[in-house]
Structure 1
Amino acid sequence: MELQLALDLVDIKGAKQVVKEVEAYIDIVEIGTPVVINEGLHAVRAIKEAFPNLQVLADLKIMDAGGYEIMKASEAGADIITVLGATDDSTIKGAVEEARKQGKRILVDMINVKDIETRAAQIDALGVDYICVHTGYDLQAEGRNSFEELQTIKRVVKNAKTAVAGGIKLSTLPEVIKAQPDLVIVGGGITGQDDKQAVAAQMQKLIKGA
């Protein structure tokens, strides 16, 4: 089980400061969609150059032109790139094909997929590396979480690794760990804390202990 830090509300300078605090306790650093929108793929390159020992995920949420966008993210140094599960199979296939050429991995984000169980089984057959259940910011505000959906995809996914994102905090992490995802993605649960290092260390201890 690995821990991914999601960075969404920072610029490149701020991202470096946060990662420097917690780099010893995380496996993957995610350059979130808002950062990519504000800073472009330069942010991916900057973090990869500054922290070469960490894996970097580019949260592009690809919906079209899968092969091309994977190629550009790969050139920027991304190790893992996200594609939306709501897109067409052809986009996912193109993304997977290009990722294989580049030696990169694909994480499919199931945000807003209505029939999680059926779609996860379909996507699993396309050769992606991770399938992630994700409760977005807007639904988190309504009190929703991804834990039930994680149980659902764990039942049907046979090949890909499973991931969970959305509102995970230190207090809810034990519940997440019980479902045994391969990847736990935490944003504000670390970045919003006063002592980021201490929280990340505690999370890593729980995750590695599992």
Structure 2
Amino acid sequence: MNAVRRLKAAFPEHAVLADMKTIDTGALEVEMAAKAGADIVILLGSADSSAIMDAVRAARKYGVKLMADLISTDDPARRAKELVEMGIDYINVHVGIDQQMTGQDPVRILRDLKINVPVAVAGGLDAQSAAKAVISGASIIIIGGNIVRSSSVTESARAIRRSIDAPEVAEEPERSIDEQTLLLLRRVSTPNISDAMHRKGAMKNIRCICPGNKAVGRAVTVQTFEGDWAKTVEAIDVAKKDDIIVIYNGSPHVAPWGELATLSCINNGVSGVVIDGAVRDVDDIRRLNFPVFASSIMPNAGEPKGFGEINAEIQCGGQTVKPGDYIVGDDNGVVVIPKERGYEVARRAVEVEKNERRIRDEIKRGKTLSEVLYLQKWEKR
């Protein structure tokens, strides 16, 4: 409670909110916060109703207000109504970081509420979404990461303040989760994605044939055999825009892919090709500037025998790849993301990139990497 006491002493004219996240012993924690100087105490909306009711009684006794945080409640709209009926003064529509990674949006939840108390909104808000929240009825906007992790805290705070004071929302096209996932993945690198997946998903020994190219798309898989390029070429007709053809050929000595197949891919709008095996005509492919990733380069071509299968589960670079999985390749290598985790991993990778940007800015301001990461503090001893 020392933080509450110090804030109240420093800002006696302002309301101090104690974010207790109370789940049990509601009356006790409300009393503690109130006696420390808090004006508003936050408890969890998912707390048992008996704890909520006791907290309300304590709040009335000590003259403080209560805010209920709806994070991780099963039915936020229903629970908000119940909480208000029990005597809660404010509702906080809060979507946690892990929930944000799966696409949950506090503004959408806000729009479903039918209550008559002030509503706060928290969870991944930036200037644009803060404006949406105000337009949708929010009285209080809570923003953390998009201020403290920005390169200029002051400018970010001012931009958000302006969006709250004069909210305007630009029209945005409705995008599917798949479209959003692809857009997010184009913003990040394969190292960002690997970090977001806890060092998983990277293909072994697959390298970019055309440096400087990046490929992002959904997997069209091809299982073929040494030198047999029939199915690899047929897959071009199966692949659609934003698809990547992923091939297991099994031989580093005979190439199932070359310039003519690459040209056909370009004409069909395919985003790239990944081959666990050999590629040839590398000079021509580089002139075409098309993203091809392979484990070896050989001049030998095989024959179109027709063995194998398109869009079956395969192994490529030591990773399991299923049709529709998300594939990202750049100069660092290739990663595969299971399609059911595509949006989540893309969001987490963006957060990794944001954090690296903050670290980069601190290094540019003169700190060492060790200082920024507090390495000595966290070393095992």
TM-score interval for Structure 1 and Structure 2 normalised by the shorter chain: 0.7 to 0.9
For 1:191, the equivalent position in structure 2 comes to: 148
**CA deviation map 1:101-148 (0-9, x unaligned):** 222111101111111222111111111111111111211233322111
Cα distance in 1 for partners of 2:11, 2:161 equals: 18
**CA deviation map 1:67-114 (0-9, x unaligned):** 111000111111111111111222111111211222211110111111
> In structure 2, what residue type is equivalent to 1:204?
R
The partner residue of 1:131 within 91, 94, 100 is 91
TM-score, normalization by structure 2: 0.42
> In structure 2, what residue type is equivalent to 1:174?
A
Cα distance in 1 for partners of 2:130, 2:81 equals: 26
Alignment of 1:168 onto 2:128: no
Which runs of 4 or more aligned residues in structure 1 lie more than 3 Å from their structure 2 counterparts after TM superposition?
none
For 2:43, the equivalent position in structure 1 comes to: 83
Cα distance in 1 for partners of 2:152, 2:37 equals: 29
**CA 1:53 to 1:193, structure 2 compared with 1: closer, same or farther past 3 Å?**
farther
For 1:120, the equivalent position in structure 2 comes to: 80
For 1:59, the equivalent position in structure 2 comes to: 19
Cα distance in 2 for partners of 1:205, 1:52 equals: 26
Range with greater deviation from structure 2 (105-114 or 117-126): 117-126
- Segments of structure 1 that go 5 or more residues without pairing to the other structure are 1-40
The partner residue of 2:139 within 173, 182, 202 is 182
Cα distance in 1 for partners of 2:5, 2:144 equals: 20
TM-score, normalization by structure 1: 0.73
Structure 2 matches for 1:79-118, cutoff 5 A? 79-118=39-78
Cα distance in 1 for partners of 2:161, 2:127 equals: 10
- Segments of structure 2 that go 5 or more residues without pairing to the other structure are 168-381
For 2:115, the equivalent position in structure 1 comes to: 157
Q: Give me the CA root mean square deviation.
A: 1.6
Aligned-pair CA distance for 1:184: 1.0
Alignment of 1:201 onto 2:158: yes
For 2:100, the equivalent position in structure 1 comes to: 140
Range with greater deviation from structure 2 (105-114 or 197-206): 197-206
Cα distance in 2 for partners of 1:63, 1:47 equals: 24
**CA deviation map 1:148-183 (0-9, x unaligned):** 110111xx213x211111001123222222202111
Cα distance in 1 for partners of 2:136, 2:164 equals: 12
Is the 2:45–2:79 contact (alpha carbons within 8 Å) kept by the matching residues of 1? yes
Is the 2:22–2:29 contact (alpha carbons within 8 Å) kept by the matching residues of 1? yes
Pick 1 or 2: higher relative contact order, CA cutoff 8 A, min separation 6. Answer: 1
Aligned-pair CA distance for 1:204: 2.4
Aligned-pair CA distance for 1:202: 2.9
Is the 2:106–2:121 contact (alpha carbons within 8 Å) kept by the matching residues of 1? yes
Q: Give the greater-gyration-radius structure (CA).
A: 2
> In structure 2, what residue type is equivalent to 1:171?
Q
